[in-house]
């Protein structure tokens, strides 16, 4: 299998030309918008005097467990609404009983509230039970929600709820099947495979650096151990961009020119944008905010 090696700049003694950021101001806003989308960077949050955030990964780069977590989170809003509705009507029911008793004995400020007798307890009980049923039928986002459903289903009050048992059984079975099909933790074998893939990719990038600098196997042997201090020494000695070595993104060497590309890091993009006219920076910030709003919807 032939591995395509990246293009490397000249040797260390031939200094790379530093990019002239003034040229970045000539980049069209349409081009910048495509780069923002590719990099997934929120430039709306980047200030000139602070460290920009790491770019969000594209959907295609997400792990299976991360995608599963997002699918579960998509259920959270409906579940929280149903749970809060049930809690509210339960509180109203309890408050009605307490208020009725307090008004009967003339306690505290109970007389400042409308008479509890104006609202029948039976209607509140019916409304609360309907809220419980709606929550039971709402898709569960996690194991805790399924446990709540099972507790309600096996409770002595379930027979009073306006729903058939088989309907709740099917709902719980669907929830269990969904959660089983969308785990948010990798199995040990998957995690180990992912770590091996990550480490091998880093070692290959170290070998690519060695090939471009004519470094011997002995010279890169410490770095190939992937120990933190050895990686730090290697990147500092040879001027390698740490983000590229770890993730394969951005410039290969620290002295390389910064070029606008979908592979650039958030730090590099922020550096380019910071050299643009303020009007262009504002326009890019507006684009980033619009993209974030669409993503969060």
Would you place residue 277 in the very low, low, confident or very high pLDDT band (cuts 50, 70, 90)? confident
Would you place residue 33 in the very low, low, confident or very high pLDDT band (cuts 50, 70, 90)? low
Would you place residue 94 in the very low, low, confident or very high pLDDT band (cuts 50, 70, 90)? very high
Closest Cα partner for 132 from 98, 96, 159?
159
9 lies in a domain? no
Check whether residue 57 and residue 192 sit in a common domain.
Answer: yes
**Does pLDDT of 42 surpass 60?**
no
Give the pLDDT score at 50: 41
Check whether residue 115 and residue 175 sit in a common domain.
Answer: yes
Check whether residue 102 and residue 141 sit in a common domain.
Answer: yes
Can you give the residue range of the structural domain that contains 246? 21-62+187-296
- Give the end of a domain, one of 181, 216, 242: 181
Check whether residue 106 and residue 251 sit in a common domain.
Answer: no
CA distance 27 to 158: 65
The angle subtended at Cα 176 by Cα 81 and Cα 173, nearest 5°, is: 95
- Give the end of a domain, one of 181, 211, 231: 181
Lowest mean pLDDT, pick from 25-39, 134-148, 233-247: 25-39
Give the pLDDT score at 190: 64
Check whether residue 58 and residue 192 sit in a common domain.
Answer: yes
Looking at the structure of the chain, the number of domains it has is: 2
Q: What percent of the chain has pLDDT over 90?
A: 48
226 lies in a domain? yes
**Does pLDDT of 28 surpass 90?**
no
Closest Cα partner for 167 from 151, 149, 144, 189?
149
CA distance 104 to 258: 78
Check whether residue 100 and residue 139 sit in a common domain.
Answer: yes
- The CA-atom distances, in angstroms, between 70 and each of 142, 147, 150, 198 are 12, 21, 24, 23
Lowest mean pLDDT, pick from 54-68, 198-212, 247-261: 54-68
Three-state secondary structure of the chain: CCCCCCCCCCCCCCCCCCCCHHHHHHCCHHHHHHHHHHHCCCHHHCCCCCCCCCCCCCHHHCCHHHHHHHHHHHHHHHHHHHHHHHHHHHHHHHHHHHHHHHHHHCCCCHHHCCCHHHCCHHHHHHHHHHHHHHHHHCCCCCHHHHHHHHHHHHCCCHHHCCCCHHHHHHHHHHHHHHHHHCCCCCCHHHHHHHHHHHHHHHHHHHHHHHHHHCCCHHHHHHHHCCCHHHHHHHHHHHCECHHHHHHCCCCCECCCCCCCCCCCCHHHHHHHHCCCCHHHHHHHHHHHHHHHHHHHC
Mean pLDDT on 93-114: 93
- Give the end of a domain, one of 155, 181, 207: 181
292 lies in a domain? yes
Give the pLDDT score at 186: 65
Check whether residue 175 and residue 31 sit in a common domain.
Answer: no
Give the pLDDT score at 22: 44
Q: Each residue of 190-214: pLDDT tens digit? A: 668 778 888 999 999 999 999 988 9
């Amino acid at each position: 299998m032939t591995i395509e090696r990246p293009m490397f700049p000249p040797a260390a003694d031939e200094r790379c030309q530093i990019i002239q950021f003034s040229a970045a101001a000539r980049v069209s806003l349409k081009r910048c918008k495509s780069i923002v989308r590719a990099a997934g960077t929120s430039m709306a949050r980047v200030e000139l005097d602070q460290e920009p955030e790491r770019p969000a990964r594209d959907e295609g780069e997400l792990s299976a467990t991360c995608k599963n977590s997002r699918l579960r989170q998509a259920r959270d809003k409906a579940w929280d609404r149903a749970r809060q509705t049930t809690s509210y009507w339960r509180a109203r029911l309890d408050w009605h009983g307490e208020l009725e008793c307090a008004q009967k004995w003339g306690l505290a400020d109970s007389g400042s509230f409308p008479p509890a007798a104006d609202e029948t307890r039976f209607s509140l009980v019916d409304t609360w039970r309907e809220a419980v049923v709606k929550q039971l039928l709402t898709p569960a986002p996690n194991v805790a929600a399924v446990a709540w459903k099972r507790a309600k289903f096996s409770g002595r009050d379930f027979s009073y709820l306006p729903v058939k048992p088989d309907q709740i059984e099917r709902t719980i079975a669907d929830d269990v099947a969904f959660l089983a099909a969308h785990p948010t933790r990798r199995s040990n074998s998957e995690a180990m495979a992912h770590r091996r893939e990550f480490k091998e990719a880093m070692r290959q990038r170290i070998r690519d650096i060695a090939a471009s600098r004519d470094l011997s196997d002995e010279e890169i042997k410490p770095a190939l151990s992937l120990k933190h201090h050895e990686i730090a020494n290697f990147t500092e000695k040879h001027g390698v961009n740490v983000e590229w070595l770890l993730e394969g993104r951005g410039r290969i060497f620290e002295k390389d020119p910064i070029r606008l590309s979908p592979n650039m890091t958030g730090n590099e993009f922020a550096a380019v944008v910071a050299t643009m006219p303020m009007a262009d920076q504002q326009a890019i910030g507006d684009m980033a905010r619009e993209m974030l709003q669409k993503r969060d919807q």
